[in-house]
Chains A and B, each alone.
Chain A
Amino acid sequence: MLGRGLKRKLSDYEENMAGLSSAFDSSRNLPYPLKRQLVLNMCLTKLQTYKMLVEPNLHRSVLIANTVRQIQEEMRQESNQQPINVCPGITPSTHSYAGIESSGISLQLPSGISQQESNCCDLRSVEDPIENSLLIVSDDDMSSAISSILKDLDFVEDISPPTCLVPTGDDQPKFPENTGLKLEDDRQDLKGAECVFGSFEISNSTSYLKDLAIDDIFEDIDTSMYDSDFCCPPLAPPRSPALATEEPLKTFPSCNSSSASNIQICRTDLSELDHIMEILVGS
């Protein structure tokens, strides 16, 4: 584990995230698609968190959005190249899932933290099917969700154009005469911008996401393809490995999506979307 950092409120969530990112860093057995999924989840969570801030950090948001786009692009290219595969049924001894639930943020990530060696070996042996199944990203919905988040990174509205003058012949550039007025507008813009971000109330409760009324953003997303009966309940976090092994181990379902019957979607993608929706809609 890394050294001490500042303790924040969502301590449970963070401990679990720290555990997963440690696993990412230290485990060589974690399949690439799982690593990518983990990073993607972290990015989306951060973007969501930054949206809540009164003064969002543009630099960080841009870097994270770029990372999301890069992962998305990679997934898209892979899904174009790979043939669409049937999700194999995986024997119960293979996978254990760790659910992380904390006050409105529900992230379900496949846990590569293998306390038992058998998990490691099994992960390796089923790597190809997992990889194939995870690469099936007909995630138009995921894309729209990401675009919506990016679009909604409504950075400070800056209406006034920058002042720019051609310098006169002598050394001193002439400053515009109407700067006074422009500066007044800027001040009002700033106040307006502060109002935009000020409307995000940072409540003391840790379930701040529930206060968001952002249903409108996602009303155009069609999630009918992902409506399904199977929905994995969140399991115990990785710090209780004994429990994890006893939990009913999940198998990849036989796919029975209502539309586009030739597209078979894996449960990880489904739960991923479910949980993105949960985060964003605050249900």
Chain B
Amino acid sequence: LLPILQVPVLRPMDLMVEATPRRVFANAHTYHINSISVNSDYETYMSADDLRINLWNFEITNQSFNIVDIKPANMEELTEVITAAEFHPHHCNTFVYSSSKGTIRLCDMRTSALCDRHAKFFEEPEDPSNRSFFSEIISSISDVKFSHSGRYIMTRDYLTVKVWDLNMENRPIETYQVHDYLRSKLCSLYENDCIFDKFECVWNGSDSVIMTGSYNNFFRMFDRNTKRDVTLEASRENSKPRAILKPRKVCVGGKRRKDEISVDSLDFSKKILHTAWHPSENIIAVAATNNLYIFQDKVN
């Protein structure tokens, strides 16, 4: 007897989202990877770990090219690690990497195969009045980003965001205080490891505004032209969808006004480490714990 052929039937099902790797570039790093950056040639990209940076070709998954190696011969001599790296937005031979000592090195891959010697070295002299046991820890740069123009770089350390002009290595051209009220809490923040939190920072499309996260689901924006800044909160409890976000303020001792929040009430488990800004529109994405918020300009 011939088996009865059945016509396939389409059955609706719940949408299943499954992430599958399309390519795996494996086994080139022995330390924790902290950054990846796509090159402007769209053919290569780099990956950086604590001590090394490798260059990859998208089409070649089993080979990479080591371009930076700061591992000392004797690990006891290690005093500095790589914390972030990024390619220049237009010059495919140029990249920067930041360190745990608050320095940034700009390298040109044309000068040598192993970029041991930087083309430029950015470091701000330490402010002696702010010196503390935790000075080095809070100077560690957690993120470095080129401006869209390629003329500036922005760095984030624990308490500040700094903008550097590529042509001036000895100090940043702008420094913004993200949450300076934490400066007097550093020991407690060290004790609970919050001092090691790695915040990112982003430019808006026109490089006129920069944004970074903080604690208590707060994030901060700084307008470089008007020098105004604002603190906003990403939280469902405190704002309804489509409602305009209300600016927040942290009160530093003294009298607390009605809508202000005192430093001691901040929730340090609610940290905004990752943010993104649309390359051309005023739309931002903010990651708060396990929620993703998308905000945009008020639509009339």
> Closest CB-CB distance, B110 to chain A, in whole Å?
9
Q: How many residues in A have their beta carbons less than 8 Å from beta carbons of B?
A: 58
- A231 interface residue per 8 A CB criterion: no
Please determine whether B136 and A63 come into contact, CB atoms closer than 8 angstroms: yes
A57–B32 touching, CB < 8 Å: yes
Q: Does B267 contact A (CB under 8 A)?
A: yes
Segment of B187-195, B240-248, B275-283 in the binding face? B187-195
How many A-B pairs with Cβ below 8 Å? Answer: 143
B237 interfacial contact with A, CB 8 Å: no
* Complex CA distance for A15 and B188, rounded to whole angstroms: 11
Q: Which of A2, A64, A175, A187 has the most CB of B within 10 A?
A: A2
Nearest residue (CB) in A for B34 is A59
Q: Say if the beta carbon of A242 comes within 8 Å of chain B.
A: no
> Do residues B63 and A179 form an inter-chain contact, with CB atoms below 8 A?
yes
A158 interface neighbour in B30, B62, B137, Cβ under 8 Å: B30
Q: Pick the contact of B191 from A18, A70, A155 — CB < 8 Å?
A: A18
Answer yes or no: B31 CB below 8 A from chain A CBs. Answer: yes
Whether A164 contacts B267 in the complex (CB less than 8 A), given A17-B191, A39-B133, A67-B134, comes out as no
> What's the Cα separation between A156 and B29 when bound, in Å?
11
Size band of the interface chain B makes with A: 35 or more
Q: How far is the CA of A63 from the CA of B135 in the complex (A)?
A: 10
Interface string of A16-45 (1 = CB under 8 A from B): 011011101110000000011011001000
Is B81 a contact of A58 with CB atoms below 8 Å? Answer: yes
Most chain A beta carbons < 10 A, residue from B31, B71, B215: B31
Q: A2-B192, A165-B65 are in contact. Are A39 and B187 (CB under 8 A)?
A: yes
B264 touches A (CB below 8 Å): yes
Do A18 and B192 touch (CB < 8 A)? yes
Q: Are A1 and B264 neighbours in the complex by a CB distance under 8 Å?
A: yes
Provide the residues of chain A in CB contact with B30, threshold 8 Å. Answer: 156, 158, 186, 189-190, 193
Contact of A175 among B60, B69, B83, B190 (CB under 8 A): B60
B144 to chain A, nearest CB (A): 15
Q: Say yes or no: A150-B76 contact (C-beta < 8 A), given A58-B81, A67-B137, A166-B113.
A: yes
| Contact present for B264 and A3 (CB under 8 Å) | yes
* 8 Å CB contact of B75 from A67, A155, A164, A173: A155
Q: Is the CB of B113 within 8 A of A167?
A: yes
Q: Is A60 an interface residue (CB 8 A)?
A: yes
Interfacial chain B residues near A58, Cβ < 8 Å:
31-32, 50-51, 81
B64 to chain A: which residues have CB within 8 Å?
A: 163, 175
The answer on a CB contact under 8 Å between A62 and B188 is: no
Residues of B within 8 A of A57 (CB): 32
B216 at the A interface (CB under 8 A): yes
Give the distance in Å from the alpha carbon of A16 to the alpha carbon of B197 in the complex.
Answer: 22
0/1 string, B84-97, CB within 8 A of A gives 1: 00000000000000
- Is A162 a contact of B69 with CB atoms below 8 Å? yes
- Contact in complex: B76, A183 (CB < 8 Å): no
A64 nearest in chain B by CB position = B137
What residues of A have a CB within 8 angstroms of the CB of B190 in the complex?
21, 39, 42
Contacts of A39 in B (CB 8 A): 133, 187, 190
Residues of A within 8 A of B63 (CB): 163, 175-176, 179
A142-172 interface with B by 8 A CB criterion: 147, 150-151, 153-156, 158, 162-167, 172
4 closest A-B pairs (Cβ-Cβ)?
A162-B66, A24-B187, A21-B191, A175-B63
Contacts A/B (CB < 8 Å), 15 sampled:
A1-B264, A18-B191, A25-B188, A42-B190, A62-B79, A66-B79, A67-B137, A151-B76, A162-B66, A172-B57, A173-B65, A173-B113, A179-B62, A190-B30, A193-B30
